[in-house]
Structure formats: C-alpha cells, structure tokens
Amino acid sequence: MSEIREQTSASDQPSAETAAANRSEPVVQGPSDQADGASDPAENFITIDDFLKVELRVGEIKVAERIPNADKLLRFEIDLGEEKPRQILAGLAEYYEPEKLIGRKVVVVANLKPRKMRGLESQGMICAASLGQEDTPAIATFLEDVQIGARLK
C-alpha cells in the first residue's frame, strides 16, 4: 500500500521529468505545460467558488468489506463526526485488503450526491491518487493526527 511521504527538501529530489525519464514513464503535463497550445489552459481551471462547493472531510474507516459478486467494489462505513457513519462504496477491491483499511483516516467528498451501486447506496467518495488506469490507486491519508470531520481547505 502506498502512503504519502514527506520530502526533506525539493532540491534533494529529482524533478518529475528527470524521474520519469529514468523510469521510462510518460511525463504528466498540467494545463500550463501543453506544448501544442491547442486548447486554452484557462478552460481547465475552476474558480475558488467552484472549489468551495466541494466538501472534503476527514473520515475514519470503521468497517471495510467486500461486496458479494462484485470484483471491484468495497463497502465502507466511515465516521465523519456525524450522527451515524456513512456508507461509501469504492472500486478498490483489486488493490486493498479490506481488513487492513480499518482505522485509517481518509479524505472523503462528503457532499457528493448519493448513488446506488449493486443495490447499495454510496453516500460519498474516498479520494485516491493514480496516474492512469493500470496504476495502483493510493488512498489519500494523513501523516498528522487530524480530527474526524475536519474540513480540508
């Protein structure tokens, strides 16, 4: 499993382009790095008002289990500091053993419209990072002790 690691200083680490070249991986370019200039980079940005609509909160995984007859989905119960834990479904079954995730503090999109999958309602989304379809997702978590329900800004 991947976890976020602190870097001692930026100068101690190779640049993303150097690291990618050494691993023969493609370099991921952001909107301002586009070489051809085909699209307006401003089209890829959101406003601060758009960002503030997304409610990212710290949650603690209380229950993590496989869903019968679902190869990719895990069912979680996540404590966000509310009256009762949220049920959240996530396509992480191929990458994580559910019992090892219990007790982890994760980043949750708390105001996502609920959605039914496999007859169960998912009441949010767990944030994870990956570079592509074949890359193993790394669940966004914390190095510091963060209070359950805290809002990310």
Residue type at 114 in one-letter notation: P
pTM: 0.71
Domains of the chain (ranges plus CATH)?
13-45 (no CATH), 53-139 (2.40.50.140)
Structure tokens at 80: 């966000």
Whether 93 and 73 have beta carbons less than 8 Å apart is answered as yes
Structure tokens at 137: 């997702």
d(CA 150, CA 81): 9
d(CA 128, CA 149): 18
Residue with tokens 């758009």: 50
Choice between 43 and 74, residue whose per-residue pLDDT is larger: 74
Output the average pLDDT for the chain. 81
Specify the 3-state DSSP secondary structure of 108: strand
Read off the pLDDT of each residue in 123-137 and give the average, rounded to a whole number.
92
